Amino acid sequence: MLGMSARAQSFGAIAHAYETFRPGYPDELFDLVMTYAGRPVRTALEIGAGTGKATRLFASHGVAVTATEPDAAMLAELNKAVPANVTTVRAAFEELRPGETYGLVYAAAALHWTHPEGRWSRVAALLEPGGVFGSFGGPVQLADPAVEESVRAARAPFLESDDVPSPDGTAPDAEMQWPGTELQRSPLFLDVRQSAIERRLTMSAPDYLGYLSTVSAYLQLPPSTRQQAFDAIARVLPGTVEITADIIVHLARRRPE
């Protein structure tokens, strides 16, 4: 199995598919973050913006977003429909240098690709005192257990699991999930909260396969093996599938100095 850094660098080739098949983010997420902030948030820095799924949410509500993304192809996709109040920067999170601070620093389905060493001191250095950090994400799963089992069996000869493991080994059934676990241990943050926005979506079988084509576990397979896996899954899928795509939200506040 390739490491997290190799998986993180695998998305550029499928940037258009990522934009097409990954679900976006609802206004409910923006409202949740702003309610937690308890004050107007005018500026935000986004870690690993990808094709701009979350960028567009915050920018559409008037937040001036600095969207950082290391992959040129993902950034090019983002720039196709970038609002005027978005500044794009091609850089990995670890390459950002302290300077300007923001009312909000957030990552949408991207934080697990950052390096753990110095992660929270870097975030804190980018936040205004009392500023908010947010991480949003969650697995897309087939809602019907029978369909899920059929897909798992079809996938098994090619790929044991398509999950992204918890970066700190937190059990899936633990009350507090990562990165809330790390935020609770950090002396730099307080008021750590975890909540969920429940979503259930319906996708056509081809669109679901399109979604799978953006999942890092499949991207790491040799192309021929990947196609065999998709062909096997296609044979067991009904015409449309229902998926659960709950957004797990972690929020924390930078501790005043």
According to the model, what pLDDT value does residue 183 have?
98
How do the domains of the chain map onto residue ranges?
4-138+165-199+246-254
Per-residue pLDDT of 164-175, as tens digits, reads 788 998 998 899
According to the model, what pLDDT value does residue 10 have?
47
According to the model, what pLDDT value does residue 11 have?
52
Whether the pTM exceeds 0.75: the reply is: yes
How would you classify the pairing of strands 240-244 and 141-142? antiparallel
How far apart, in whole angstroms, are the C-alpha atoms of residue 134 and residue 105? 6
Q: Which residues, 6+ apart, have CB-to-CB distance to 229 below 8 Å?
A: 154, 155, 158, 159, 218, 221
How far apart, in whole angstroms, are the C-alpha atoms of residue 5 and residue 62? 33
Contact between 238 and 110 under an 8 Å Cβ cutoff? The reply is no
Which phi and psi angles does 44 have, rounded to 5°?
-145, 150
Those residues of the chain that have pLDDT short of 70 are: 1-13
Per-residue pLDDT of 154-201, as tens digits, reads 999 999 988 878 899 899 889 999 999 999 999 999 999 999 999 999
Out of 3.40.50.11540, 3.40.190.10, 3.50.30.30, 3.40.50.150, the CATH code matching 4-138+165-199+246-254 is 3.40.50.150
